[in-house]
Amino acid sequence: MKRFLSLILVAAAVVSCGGNAFSIKGSVTPTDDLKDAFVVMQDIFSGQMDTAMIVGGKFAFKGEADTTTIKMVGLAGPARRGARAMFVPEKGDIVIDLDSANRVTAGPLTEKLQAMLSQTAEAQDEETFMAVLDNVYKANKTNALGLFALSSFMSGLESEAELDEYLEGAADFIKENRSVKAARTALKALEETGAGKPFKDIDGFDSDGKSLKLSDFAGKGKYTLIDFWASWCGPCRGEIPYLIDAAKKYAKKNVQVVGINVWDQEPASLEAVGKLGIIYPVIFTRDDRSSTDNYGVQGIPQILLIGPDGTILERDLRGEGIAAALDKYVK
């Protein structure tokens, strides 16, 4: 669900006039807090944007019709109300009322988009949620709804082969989308660092600024439990007690715990080590993404167990599963 919600919040949109055009007639109830406010139209895929002033509760946009993208309109400036309107910029007139529950009147693809948003919002479990997205994607492989649906679930795919199956018969703009390409790269890295594969080294430094690498620990005859984490990450902080317990319990059983601090700022990460009572070595990588990219890590925490010979044994360990995994191998 979070992947879907985060996608909705992506920003962007460039518009241009032409024969195959769309025209937005928008409205919002004039109130005192709308003074100096304006409206932003964003393309959720490209990151481009256009703006329009509100005059007497009215605003307007014009642009080139394009069924390969989805745009979002919302208030900006002093008045940042939460109302947003999403639509496919199909040819013709589009009516947007930011004060209405049914905010957009547009073409058939927008109607399908609204239906999808409604169905996913009403989904009671992850299975139902994913089924909606899967069905929408398979029925819309040549328009923006297909890309939207695929982008919402592709981080959950397990291999390049699975992604290729989904991309069979898809339009080129979907195959060439930068997010799809990034997912392919991540899936390849995930396969290269799965169970049975050798670990990839990680370069960083310790709390004193001295060089420190994963290879200083892994592949040297001990089981190495590594944790990708960041100080700002709540779930990461929630795993630290389990890792501290593992470091204590298995200290004399040929196990080394190593933290890999990623996507973070040095002052905050150093402070977190003290506050969280971390007793095991931490490799700091600042906000460099090369280490997580090499391991196909798209979300943290990510905890892996590496064998004495440097072979990756387990991924995606959490909570009590950490000790359970160690007990499988450590005698």
Q: Is the pLDDT of residue 8 over 60?
A: no
Half-sphere exposure of 91 (CA within 13 A, CB side): 4
Question: How confident is the model over 266-325, as pLDDT tens digits?
Answer: 899 999 999 999 999 999 997 678 999 999 998 999 999 999 999 999 999 999 999 999
Are the CB atoms for 40 and 49 separated by under 8 Å? Answer: yes
> Can you identify the CATH homologous superfamily of domain 2-106?
Carboxypeptidase-like, regulatory domain (2.60.40.1120)
Look up tokens 């923006």; give the residue.
144
Whether the pLDDT of residue 13 is over 90: the answer is: no
Q: Under CATH, what is the fold of the domain 203-329? A: Glutaredoxin (3.40.30)
pTM above 0.95, yes or no: no
Concatenating the DSSP letter of every residue in 279-319 gives -S-EEE-TT--HHHHHTT--SS-EEEEE-TTSBEEE-S--T
Burial zone of 39 (CB within 10 Å; 0-12 exposed, 13-18 middle, 19+ buried): buried
DSSP string, 212-279: EEGGGTTTSSSEEEEEEE-TT-HHHHHHHHHHHHHHHHTTTTTEEEEEEE-S--HHHHHHHHHHHT--
Q: What's the rounded Cα separation, in Å, for the pair 74 and 76?
A: 7
Q: Is 221 exposed, middle or buried (0-12, 13-18, 19+ CB in 10 A)?
A: exposed
Tell me whether residue 298 is exposed, middle or buried, using C-beta atoms within 10 angstroms of its C-beta: 0 to 12, 13 to 18, 19 or more. Answer: middle
Residue ranges, comma separated, of all CATH 3.40.30.10 domains in the chain are 203-329
Residue 10 confidence (pLDDT) above 50: no
Q: How confident is the model at residue 243 (pLDDT cuts 50, 70, 90)?
A: very high
- Residue 178: which residues within 8 A CB-CB, separation 6 or more? none
> Is the distance from CB of 282 to CB of 261 less than 8 angstroms?
yes
Which segments of the chain belong to CATH 2.60.40.1120?
Answer: 2-106
Share of residues in the chain with pLDDT > 90 (%):
81
Phi-psi region at 235: left, alpha or beta (left = phi > 0; alpha = psi -120 to 50):
alpha
- 18-68 pLDDT, tens digit per residue, is 469 999 999 998 887 777 788 999 999 998 999 999 998 999 999 999 999
Q: CA-CA distance, 77 to 39, in Å (whole number)?
A: 8
Query: What's the mean per-residue pLDDT of the chain?
Result: 90
What is the signed CA dihedral for 139, 145, 149, 155, rounded to 10 degrees? 120
Question: Could you tell me if 148 and 142 are in contact, meaning their C-beta atoms sit under 8 angstroms apart?
Answer: no
Q: What pLDDT, on a 0 to 100 scale, did the predictor assign at position 2?
A: 41
- Tell which wins on pLDDT, 17 or 201: 201
- Which tokens hold the place of 148? 């939207």
